[in-house]
């Protein structure tokens, strides 16, 4: 009974080649791993030459415009792979479906939900915008992690090279100390042998023998002291050498970990990143009617939010025709700077959940004073900012 439920597929779901072109790339990138790309191409085209991940992804995308051998096989494979998600989610009402999406996205387990969302015909534009907008931004976040991993890897390799040079120098010094120690031991042994030989060969010349013996004894004592010092230095060098060996092993492990993270993130991003959209085709599709008249050439001031997401806020505003301005919400220097920014702005967005009480109050007072429109947002997320930007303009398509 469970097997029959898992394989049930509603007839209303789209096929892969029927998806909107903007949805195909994130769906394939998220739902098909690099190794699955390779296996699919080998099975359909008997692909033998080795392609890089982005080349395999591009080949698959080139065959999704119509029904063909590759698109049919891929559609069948993904429906089987996510058969449980299709059976559980395809007929949920929109509110319940979006609750499942938010939970899955928070856990990082959203591939099956994303696949079902793309195939459904009945989800609203707002829900689809949230799902694929968050997926798009996840691509950028992963790309940032890849670049940081590469920086860390380069830094680790340089540290390993420096440690290897130090280790080689320490080994050389240790070898020299051992050689000096052997020479001192040999000199001491030779001095003692000569003293004993003189003592046996000249028994009647007691005063001269005594003086020679005392000289040799003093020389022997000096050599012993020198040998003690050299042995202490040798122990210190051996300790530093062991410590350097441990440090090198630790650095090599960190390097291996960084390489593993880098490879994993590179594979993930290679499947998720889409080719840039042709600007001429985008303008032609617009037909001369701007879908974002409420944003074009207007100055948008964002007050507060997550400071580390400022570049993403800026990209969201400017890629949709607006002029971006930002205030971090800290009011230690008073509200003079915020006052001038509010005067220059055409629209003020203020996430109240990630802002100080003083900043929220100052925004409300200044907007009333200068007659500026303000939107107080419940969240600093990109989806909340985009809703604030296009409130009253639901038909606009979001660009990133």
- Rounded mean pLDDT, 85-105: 91
Dump pLDDT digits (tens) for 188-219.
888 888 888 887 776 555 555 567 677 778 88
- pLDDT at residue 276 is higher than 80: no
Q: Specify burial of residue 326 (Cβ count, 10 A radius: 0-12, 13-18, 19+).
A: middle
Q: What is the mean pLDDT of residues 58-75?
A: 91
**Residue 387: partners with Cβ closer than 8 Å, 6 or more residues away:** 377
- Band (pLDDT 50/70/90 cuts) for residue 5 is very low
Residue-level pLDDT at 192:
87
What is the average per-residue pLDDT within 66-80? 92
What is the reported pLDDT for 78? Answer: 94
Q: Which pLDDT belongs to residue 268?
A: 42
Q: Which whole number is the average pLDDT over 35-49? A: 81
Q: What's residue 41's pLDDT? A: 87
More confident residue, 24 or 152: 24
106 falls in which pLDDT band (50, 70, 90)?
A: confident
| 111 vs 128: CA distance, rounded Å | 15
Indicate whether 251 pLDDT > 80: yes
Of 5, 3, 1, 4, nearest to 89 by C-alpha is: 5
Percent pLDDT > 70 in the chain is: 78
Domain ranges of the chain: 2-123, 147-272, 279-389
Percent residues over pLDDT 90 in the chain? 32
Residue 348 pLDDT > 50: yes
Buried-exposed string 156-178: b where 16+ CB fall within 10 A, e elsewhere:
beeebeebeeebeebeeebeebe
pLDDT at site 108: 82
Across 176-191, average pLDDT: 88
Check residues 342 and 21 and name the one with the higher pLDDT.
Answer: 342
pLDDT digit string, tens, across residues 307-331: 889 999 999 999 988 999 999 988 8
pTM comes to 0.40
What's the rounded Cα separation, in Å, for the pair 351 and 302? 8
Higher-confidence residue: 170 or 398?
A: 170
pLDDT band at residue 155 under the 50/70/90 scheme: confident
Give me the chain's average pLDDT, please.
81
pLDDT at 84 over 60: yes
- The reply to whether 147-272 and 279-389 are identical in fold is no
Give the separation between CA 389 and CA 170, rounded to whole angstroms. Answer: 63
CATH architecture of 147-272: Orthogonal Bundle (1.10)
Whether residue 377 is predicted with pLDDT greater than 60 in this model: the reply is yes
Q: Does position 49 have pLDDT exceeding 90, yes or no? A: no
More confident residue, 2 or 317: 317
Residue 305 backbone class (left: φ over 0; alpha: ψ -120 to 50; beta: rest): left
CB 277 within 8 A of CB 319: no
Q: Does the structure show a pLDDT above 60 at 287?
A: no
CATH number listed for the domain at residues 279-389:
3.40.50.10700
d(CA 187, CA 184): 5
pLDDT at 1 (0 to 100): 41
């Amino acid at each position: 009974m469970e097997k029959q439920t898992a394989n049930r597929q509603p007839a209303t779901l789209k096929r892969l080649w029927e998806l909107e072109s903007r949805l195909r790339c994130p769906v394939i990138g998220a739902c098909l791993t690099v190794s699955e790309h390779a296996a699919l191409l080998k099975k359909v085209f008997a692909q033998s030459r080795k392609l890089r991940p982005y080349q395999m992804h591009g080949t698959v995308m080139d065959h999704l415009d119509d029904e063909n051998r590759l698109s049919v096989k891929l559609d069948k494979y993904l429906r089987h792979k996510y058969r449980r998600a299709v059976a559980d989610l395809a007929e949920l009402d929109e509110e319940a479906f979006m609750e499942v999406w938010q939970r899955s996205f928070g856990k990082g387990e959203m591939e099956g939900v994303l696949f079902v969302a793309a195939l459904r015909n009945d989800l609203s534009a707002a829900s689809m915008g949230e799902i694929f907008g968050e997926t798009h931004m996840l691509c950028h976040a992963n790309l940032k992690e890849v670049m940081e991993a590469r920086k860390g890897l380069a830094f680790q390799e340089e540290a390993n090279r420096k440690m290897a040079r130090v280790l080689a120098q320490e080994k050389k010094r240790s070898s020299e100390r051992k050689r000096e120690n052997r020479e001192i031991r040999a000199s001491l042994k030779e001095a003692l042998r000569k003293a004993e030989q003189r003592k046996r060969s000249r028994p009647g010349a007691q005063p001269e023998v005594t003086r020679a013996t005392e000289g040799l004894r003093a020389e022997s004592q000096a050599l012993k002291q020198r040998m003690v010092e050299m042995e202490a230095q040798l122990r210190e060098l051996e300790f530093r050498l062991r410590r350097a060996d441990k440090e090198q092993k630790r650095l090599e492990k960190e390097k291996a970990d960084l390489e593993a993270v880098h490879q994993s993130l590179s594979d993930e991003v290679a499947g998720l990143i889409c080719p840039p959209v042709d600007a001429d085709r985008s303008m032609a599709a617009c037909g001369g009617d701007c879908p974002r008249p409420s944003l074009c050439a207007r100055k948008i001031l964002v007050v507060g939010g997550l400071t580390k997401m400022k570049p993403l806020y800026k990209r969201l505003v400017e890629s949709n025709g607006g002029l971006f301005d930002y205030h971090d919400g800290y009011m230690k220097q008073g509200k003079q700077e915020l006052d001038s920014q509010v005067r220059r702005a055409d629209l003020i967005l203020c996430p109240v959940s990630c802002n100080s009480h003083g900043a929220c109050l100052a925004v409300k007072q200044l907007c009333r004073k200068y007659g500026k429109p303000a939107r107080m947002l419940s969240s600093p997320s990109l989806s909340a900012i985009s809703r604030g930007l296009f409130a009253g303009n639901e038909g606009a398509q979001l660009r990133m």
